[in-house]
Amino acid sequence: MINISHLSYSFGSKEILHDISMTIEAGTFHAILGPNGCGKTTLLRCISNLLPVEKGQIAINNRNVQDYGARMLARQIALVPQRPAFDIEFSAFETVLMGRNPYQRHLQNESQQDWDIVEKCMKQTNTWHLRLAMPSQMSGGELQRVMIARALAQQTPILLLDEPTSNLDIAHQFEIMELLRDINHNEHKTILIVVHDLNLALHYCPDSVLLYDRSLLFQGPTTEALNHDRILTAFGVQAKNIDGYLKFER
């Protein structure tokens, strides 16, 4: 469970999030929605304690995230960033193996159990055949699945993803969303995912957090988050739900 109470965050003099309070129940699958610049990525980074909370509080299982050590928090939350950094090239296998770092002691070598978990996670994400590939040898969709495999290797109850479908073709978008839906259903992980495509959110995420003007506009079922009035307020466009798909117009 994630409890957020009166969270505000600013970059310099610019406030990004203002007085946000909500509870994310364990095992739920939430899309984080909202127009550009509304604070979606900042919210994920605050939850994962990459950005220290300035005002308010974020708690994981009733414990403030700032009270967790880095290693212990990494056993609770895995984050798949929007733009993975590969300053030094590692193979896909080595990249996924990094997900086991929170369970290894200083200077300890990986165990057979670590290797087995990596293999399982790579097979789960259909990346085992890429285990020797370097980032430059993989497509965007393949890289994204490798990063999800690394997050799964952390074996955390909470999975945060920042636009994992951006810059992917429609087939790979469906593949990623179906994978996450299966993980949520079969492993009961709590998943929060930043999504720009409202139809993807509508079809794959049962619940949503809708941000607007630095604040929480709505939290609850995605079908209610994406009704005509809230879409008009948050995105400034008209929307009609036609046979389960949103059609937009000015």
Can you give the pLDDT of all 250 residues of the chain as single tens digits? 999 999 999 998 899 999 999 999 999 999 999 999 899 999 999 999 999 888 999 999 999 999 999 999 999 999 998 876 655 589 999 999 999 999 987 667 788 899 999 999 999 999 999 999 998 899 888 998 999 999 999 999 999 999 998 878 888 899 899 999 999 999 999 999 999 999 999 999 999 999 999 999 999 999 999 999 999 999 999 998 888 889 888 7
Strand, coil or helix: 218: strand
Sign of CA dihedral 73, 76, 82, 88: positive
Residue 226 sits at φ, ψ, to 5 deg, of -105, 45
SS3 of 157, please? coil
Q: Provide the pLDDT for residue 139.
A: 87
Burial 206-234 (b: 16+ CB within 10 A, else e): ebbbbbbebebbbbeebeebbeeebbeeb
Structure tokens at 227: 């009704």
Question: From edge to edge, which strands make up the β-sheet containing 2-11?
Answer: 14-24, 2-11, 55-60, 63-64
Question: Any residues with CB less than 8 A from the CB of 31 and at least 6 apart, and which?
Answer: 193, 194, 195, 201, 204, 205, 207, 208, 209, 222
Residue pair 201/161 in contact by the 8 Å Cβ criterion: no
What's residue 212's pLDDT?
96
The whole-number pLDDT of residue 86 equals 59
Residue 239 is given by DSSP the state E
Alpha carbons 99 and 187: distance in angstroms, whole number = 17
| Residue 120: Cβ within 10 Å count | 14
- The confidence score (pLDDT) of residue 85 equals 63
Sign, Cα dihedral of 53, 56, 60, 66: positive
Q: Specify the pLDDT at position 101.
A: 92
pTM of the model: 0.92
What pLDDT, on the 0 to 100 scale, is given for residue 250?
77
